[in-house]
Amino acid sequence: MTRAKARLLTLILPFGMAACSTGGSYPSLAIRDVERPSGTATAASGTQADAAPVLPPASADLVTRLAGLVKVAQDADTRFQSNRTAAERAVAAAGSAGSDSWSSATVALARLESSRSAAMTALAELDTLYADARDKAPLGESPTSQAIGDARSKVAALVNAQDQAINALSSRLRT
């Protein structure tokens, strides 16, 4: 160790170690009673979160897999539409930002957004399948990529309609 380093350590060490000292007038770093977990908390009431979508297995034949992905998206759209009415009512009744009614509307909007997650997952899977199919036949659209593209278009239409509904409600809530 060089003299400069040794000198630096003798200057810094007493100050850096002071907080870890158990003596003196420094507070203890031990857990205090108020920091210990206590009390009885209960979960907020509401609906349970939707389970993750069960996508068709990758080994399924293409037609079955595509039909399964479209079905997942359609089921998500059904959940979305059932939550949409409640979100529209909550947004229409929302008061100023920060009020209870505004908070309820943001929760309803979040629930609406969440209900479409399975459709987004199906669309992402279709995007991947389409990209892989186009990689295998880059010069022209093969029957495989065309079938995937058709399924993707159906799911994308559902997701786009959901996006428009969410954007319309979000813009009304901000004002």
Mean pLDDT of 115-122: 92
Name which residue leads in pLDDT, 130 or 2.
130
pLDDT at 22 over 70: no
- Ranges of beta strands (E only) in 78-139 are none
Cα separation, 87 vs 101, whole angstroms: 12
Q: Tokens for 164, please give them.
A: 């428009």
pLDDT at 10 over 80: no
C-alpha 4 chain-centroid distance: 53
pLDDT on residue 12:
57
pLDDT digits (tens, 9 = 90+) for 38-62: 666 666 666 566 666 665 655 568 8
pLDDT at 150 over 60: yes
Q: What is the mean pLDDT of the chain?
A: 80
Q: Tokens for 151, please give them.
A: 């399924």
Mean pLDDT of 126-145: 85
Name which residue leads in pLDDT, 3 or 108.
108
Closest residue by Cα to residue 155 from 58, 53, 50: 53
Cα separation, 68 vs 55, whole angstroms: 7
Enter the pTM of the model. 0.63
Mean pLDDT of 113-140: 89
Using 50, 70 and 90 to split pLDDT, how confident is the model at 134? confident
Using 50, 70 and 90 to split pLDDT, how confident is the model at 66? very high
